[in-house]
Structure 1
């Protein structure tokens, strides 16, 4: 397997919706084309940023098919198939394989407080249902599940389990996973605001939500990291964090969609409940910040 295809900057795509809150495939295709034109190296489809747990399974399949069709094999496509139900995860994994995804990924089953053995069996059941590589999704801030280093080392022994999307601020844990699982096991940084630190701690790249609205700055950061230009990596992270700090005053997904709408990438910034529904005053505040931000304005289609 060519692990290099799983290195780099991957966008955790939003799911554009129309004013009736139906999936807007035309805007999604436009977003995919825009991201590829910017130089993005892959997509993470159907995860948290995609409103994956708010979509139906049929909608998740439709979104993945749309992305794969629009990408036309030009970038790597990772399909998030994680559900609380193992059977539903298997259904989505089998669909992902038939649709042409390059790998599947799954967050741990949550809510029912499954133990380590049940979580291990969950992953193994998904993997045994397909031939695609598996990428674990570690997001304790959302799932409430914290796995041990022994668990990661055990999973890494499977040739099919090739890495982890690591969405945690505990970068010591990231470094320890790297140490325990070896240099070939792939680690993607998940929290965009510490992407530079993730690079220092051993990540092979990043899967990020804010890459939807500002892909170029993270691509430049990855290039600087590859050139060991760490001062530039730090400076670029600081520029990105000016945007992220403003974004965190709102709900992340509505904010990103509104920026993409202002950039002319998607036709409608709608999000489904229970996500935050931006007020007119909040939209005006975001638009004012957008107009003043060179990082955001320079990436938009309409600018």
Structure 2
């Protein structure tokens, strides 16, 4: 399960319902146009923390039905409600997902023993392999090398989605655990992470910019750093403009401009104002011909 994985977006209608037709179109755009190597389903980019358990299951089912065995699928099942996480983990495992992933428990200031117990409890109940989802800026959970080592002691924990700018820690994890899967989670730092020999990356902008991400990753593996740097520069120009205009809404509008029924974001996210819609369309034309 190496390479470039899109943190898959989901299409929602104006009432917040899953638009299955639009979701399938997003999937096909990722696979047929962006040429990504796999999909990370129901992560932050999929607006996972804004939807119900039944909607999560609907998305998991639709993605699996559309993809089958075409590419590997990772299901993000993490939740503050551990019973929901276990239920979702069993659900996707029975369906055939290649792995589960779970964000570190957040909001409450859990200590490390509680975090470790969260993962161990999920994996006692779910017969699948797990990728930790570490995103300290949003969860407030900062783990050190020794703590990652404790989590990795569970043989069913096969890797980490590392969404942090601490590249010293990233290098130490890579050096210490050569057999674990490490995915970079910051699209704008893909080149730097690739130099540290990560196994791949999982990112939001890969829904539209997956081809460039694959080129950066492949060039680094071939030792062609100047070529990778040139593509990362264009990628970061794109990312800067997308972030300034509104991340998820802008990506969805760019997909709309490509003929993909990407829908709208769920509340409390607001739709783009008219002028921002025009900016999104301009970004799409400028960077994604």
Structure 1 length-normalised TM = 0.92
Please give the secondary structure, in 1, of the residue aligned with 2:132. Answer: strand
Q: Which of 75, 78, 86 is matched with 2:71 structurally?
A: 75
Cα drift, residue 247 of structure 1: 0.9
Q: Please, which of 109, 120, 126 is the counterpart of residue 130 of structure 1? A: 126
Match of 1:200 among 195, 199, 202: 195
Q: Any residues of structure 2 matched to 1:1-303 within 5 Å, and which?
A: 6-38=1-33, 39-180=35-176, 182-266=177-261, 268=263, 270-291=264-285, 293=286, 295-296=287-288, 298=289
Deviation at 1:154, TM superposition (A): 1.4
Counterpart residue number, 1:301: none
Unaligned 5+ runs, structure 1: 1-5, 299-303
Equivalent residues of 1:18, 1:267 under 8 A apart: no
The alpha carbon displacement at 1:267 in A equals 5.0
Q: Is the 8 A contact 1:15 1:28 kept in 2?
A: yes
What is the Cα deviation at residue 163 of structure 1?
0.3
Alpha-carbon offset, residue 42 of structure 1: 0.5
> Deviation of residue 150 (structure 1)?
0.7
User: Residue 30 of structure 1 aligns to a residue in which SS?
Assistant: helix
Contact 1:251 1:275 in 2 (8 A): no
Contact kept in structure 1, 2:76 and 2:102, CA below 8 Å: yes
User: Relative contact order: is structure 1 or structure 2 higher (C-alpha 8 Å, sep ≥ 6)?
Assistant: 2
Rounded to whole Å, the distance in 1 between the matches of 2:104 and 2:262 is 33
Does 31-40 or 230-239 show the bigger shift? 31-40
Q: Distance in 2 between matches of 1:30 and 1:285?
A: 23
Query: Measured at CA, do residues 86 and 195 of structure 1 come closer, stay the same or move farther in structure 2, by a change above 3 Å?
Result: same
1:20: Cα distance to partner?
2.8
Between Structure 1 and Structure 2, how many residues are aligned? 288
Distance 2:280 2:25 in 1: 22
Cα deviation, residue 85, structure 1: 1.6
| TM-score normalized by the length of structure 2 | 0.96
Provide the aligned C-alpha RMSD in A. Answer: 1.2
C-alpha distance in structure 2 between counterparts of 1:92 and 1:250, whole Å: 33
